[in-house]
């Protein structure tokens, strides 16, 4: 009897799992490096030397011998269109590079898809980018019409702020040369006023409202598919901006199935009018203030997302000076525009702020960024609230004034955090460089200046605008290179490059802060969840370009293995 009690006592006290003989990058405040980690009931109970951790091993403790491999906290993406991106992996025609290199490739893909459909059924594709096409131009309806006379076609640009419809779809939406541009949107036209098929910002809705809705089952399958993808890249948490109740319910269903192995911090769609804001607050305030969790921190209702301007690809971001095109040319008269009337926008910001809701606001252009920060500052002055962590999503080319405001608001209110994706400079960087031009490019994603001014930021992918693996983003914060080098390898310069330590910090503890989980994830410290990624190489010592090629060997969520690569030699001792 005593022996049995001793065994149960030992099982209750000693670790369930230990990782030993590794390089443990803890991401604690000192960026400490350890050799081993002990885990109990899904949380870290010790971090230190092999000698220390091995003393804790009991007969019920499982052991993973890292054999010198590197472990980091599970990586976190603070801006990823997770649910819709997962749907895209399974159900949307992939038009991304390198599958597509020229317009003919797109036409052939559309033709092949049409051949599988009945007349009248939709072709829905996404991922094209004129900056990667040989022709360096948009796709037009005239390109698509010869292969799609009997089917409506909508091809979304990779950035999600514009796309192309064929003539069938334009007729369905009753878009003619006499159709006015809708508020906050643009119908691209030939000189005679005839629509080209390219629709930007709110104009997209004229066509997209006719596309059949994705089913609940498809949404759930998409989420599960992307969960697998994230885990295979050592990623264990994401912030999904701009969801609705249908998507929230899909997440809940996946969680109930035990398949939500990525922590999701969701932002609700905030709307575009004061009436929208009133309606959103009424519906979500009771369980989003700001953070109603499922109890195990797998699914969190975290706040609201708003848009102020458009995109860098469509040249609809709101700027102080005219957009460029082809890098050195001027897109005369085009300063972009706000997609919400600015005064209305500021009222909405204050409404959400006043009820204590965290805000993430999309702002691409320098003028848009300034306006967002001015609205934050006004709201904070009239109702000081510390810790809402309002963010500037993308935050591409902040002005000097914006940088000072971010630094001040972070110090005084724990607010105004950039959630900025370095991967934009790589994957869509050739398009960006051509549109922002040589002077603005050097202000793009100023990470080094952030550091100098004490500004923290959260790293993001913006999937499925760009690929989601965080290793690309870690590398891109350092390399600042474009994919194809159309305007040179480094049109964004190297002055704003940072080191790998800070690049990783932005994908771990700083992103955890923007999910309101920095006390639970983002570093490997005692008391935190054992969300851990194990890598084939030490990203602190390998050449910069090899960071982009890192391979995850194993991913743990709360101490449970949720991914193990087929080729890894890592084993759990109980498997022997």
Residue 292's pLDDT is: 58
d(CA 280, CA 276): 6
Q: Are 318 and 338 in contact (CB under 8 A)?
A: yes
| Stretch among 12-16, 290-294, 547-551, 568-572 having the lowest mean pLDDT | 290-294
Residue where the block lists tokens 């010790």: 46
φ/ψ of 23, rounded to 5, equals: -110, 105
Closest by CA to 68, choosing from 469, 569, 574, is: 569
User: What three-state secondary structure class fits 40?
Assistant: strand
Q: Which CATH class is domain 2-74+528-575?
A: mainly beta
Q: Are 381 and 374 in contact (CB under 8 A)?
A: no
Q: What is the pLDDT of residues 386-436, one digit of tens each?
A: 999 999 999 999 999 999 999 999 999 999 999 999 999 999 999 999 999
83-208 CATH, one of 3.40.50.2020, 3.40.50.300, 3.10.310.70, 3.40.50.1220: 3.10.310.70
Closest by CA to 157, choosing from 395, 421, 466, is: 466
Q: Would you say residue 2 has pLDDT above 50?
A: no
> What mean pLDDT is predicted for residues 548-574?
94
Residue 575's pLDDT is: 45
User: What three-state secondary structure class fits 486?
Assistant: strand
Q: Would you say residue 4 has pLDDT above 70?
A: no
Closest by CA to 330, choosing from 436, 430, 425, is: 436
Q: Are 554 and 561 in contact (CB under 8 A)?
A: yes
Q: Would you say residue 289 has pLDDT above 70?
A: no
d(CA 394, CA 159): 12
Helices (H) and strands (E) in the chain, counts: 20, 27
Closest by CA to 526, choosing from 22, 59, 24, 67, is: 24
DSSP conformational letter for 274: H
- The encoded tokens of residue 517 equal 């989980």
d(CA 479, CA 545): 8
Q: Cα angle at 562 between 560 and 566, to 5 degrees?
A: 125
| pLDDT band for position 576 (cuts 50, 70, 90) | very low
Cα-trace Rg, the chain: 24
d(CA 107, CA 123): 12
Q: What is the pLDDT of residues 333-389, one digit of tens each?
A: 999 999 999 999 999 999 999 999 999 999 999 999 999 999 999 999 999 999 999
| Percent of the chain's residues with pLDDT above 90 | 94
Question: Domain limits of the chain?
Answer: 2-74+528-575, 83-208
Total residue length of the chain: 576
Q: Would you say residue 102 has pLDDT above 60?
A: yes
Q: What are the CA-CA distances from residue 134 to residues 190, 229, 485 (Å)?
A: 21, 30, 13
DSSP letter for each residue of 492-545: T-STT---HHHHHHHTTHHHHHHTT-TTTSSS--TTSB--EEEESS-TTTS-HH
d(CA 177, CA 313): 24
DSSP conformational letter for 286: G
| pLDDT band for position 27 (cuts 50, 70, 90) | very high
């Amino acid at each position: 009897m005593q022996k049995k009690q001793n065994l149960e006592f030992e099982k209750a006290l000693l670790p369930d799992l230990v990782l030993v003989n590794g390089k443990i990058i803890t991401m604690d405040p000192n960026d400490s490096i350890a050799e081993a980690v002990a885990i109990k009931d899904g949380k870290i109970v010790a971090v230190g030397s092999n000698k220390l951790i091995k003393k804790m091993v009991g007969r019920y403790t499982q052991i993973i011998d890292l054999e010198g491999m590197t472990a980091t906290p599970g990586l976190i993406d603070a801006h990823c269109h997770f649910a819709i991106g997962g749907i895209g992996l399974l159900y949307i025609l992939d038009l991304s590079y390198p599958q597509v290199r020229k317009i003919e490739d797109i036409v052939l893909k559309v033709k092949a898809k049409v051949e599988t459909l009945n007349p009248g059924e939709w072709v829905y594709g996404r991922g094209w980018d004129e900056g990667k096409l040989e022709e360096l131009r948009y796709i037009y309806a005239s390109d698509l019409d010869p292969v799609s006379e009997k089917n409506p076609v909508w091809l979304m640009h990779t950035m999600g702020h514009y796309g192309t419809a064929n003539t069938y779809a334009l007729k369905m939406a009753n878009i003619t040369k006499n159709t006015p541009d809708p508020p906050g949107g643009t119908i691209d036209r030939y000189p005679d006023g005839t629509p080209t098929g390219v629709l930007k910002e709110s104009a997209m809705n004229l066509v997209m409202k006719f596309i059949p809705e994705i089913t609940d089952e498809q949404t759930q399958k998409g989420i599960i598919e992307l969960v697998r993808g994230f885990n295979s890249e050592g990623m264990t948490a994401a912030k999904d901006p701009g969801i609705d109740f249908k998507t929230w319910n899909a997440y809940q269903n996946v969680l109930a199935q035990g398949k939500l192995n990525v922590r999701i911090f969701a932002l609700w769609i905030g709307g575009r009018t004061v009436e929208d804001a009133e309606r959103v607050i009424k519906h979500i305030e009771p369980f989003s203030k700001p953070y109603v969790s499922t109890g195990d921190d797998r699914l969190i209702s975290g706040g609201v997302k708003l848009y102020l301007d458009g995109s860098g690809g469509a040249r609809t971001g709101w700027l102080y000076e005219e957009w460029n095109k082809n890098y050195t040319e001027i897109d005369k008269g085009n300063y972009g525009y706000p997609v919400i009337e600015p005064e209305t926008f500021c009222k909405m910001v204050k409404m959400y702020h006043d009820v204590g809701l965290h805000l993430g606001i999309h702002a691409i252009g320098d003028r848009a960024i300034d306006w967002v920060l001015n609205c934050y500052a006004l709201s904070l002055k009239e109702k000081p609230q510390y810790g809402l962590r309002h963010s500037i999503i993308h935050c591409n080319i902040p002005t000097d004034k914006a940088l000072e405001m971010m630094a001040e608001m972070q110090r005084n209110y724990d607010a105004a955090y950039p959630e900025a994706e370095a991967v934009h400079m790589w994957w869509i960087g050739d398009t960006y460089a051509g549109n922002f031009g040589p002077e603005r490019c050097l202000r793009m994603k100023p990470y080094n200046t952030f550091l100098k001014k004490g500004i923290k930021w959260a790293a993001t992918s913006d999937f499925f605008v760009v690929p989601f693996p965080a290793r690309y983003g870690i590398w891109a914060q350092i390399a600042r290179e474009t994919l194809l080098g159309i305007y040179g390898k480094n049109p964004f310069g190297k002055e704003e490059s940072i080191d790998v330590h800070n690049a990783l910090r932005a994908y771990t503890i700083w992103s955890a802060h923007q999910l309101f989980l920095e006390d639970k994830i983002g570093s490997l410290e005692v008391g935190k969840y054992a969300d851990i990624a194990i890598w084939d190489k030490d990203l602190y010592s390998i050449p910069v370009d090899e960071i982009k090629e890192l391979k995850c060997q194993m991913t743990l969520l709360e101490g449970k293995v949720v991914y193990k690569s087929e080729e890894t030699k890592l084993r759990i001792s109980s498997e022997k």
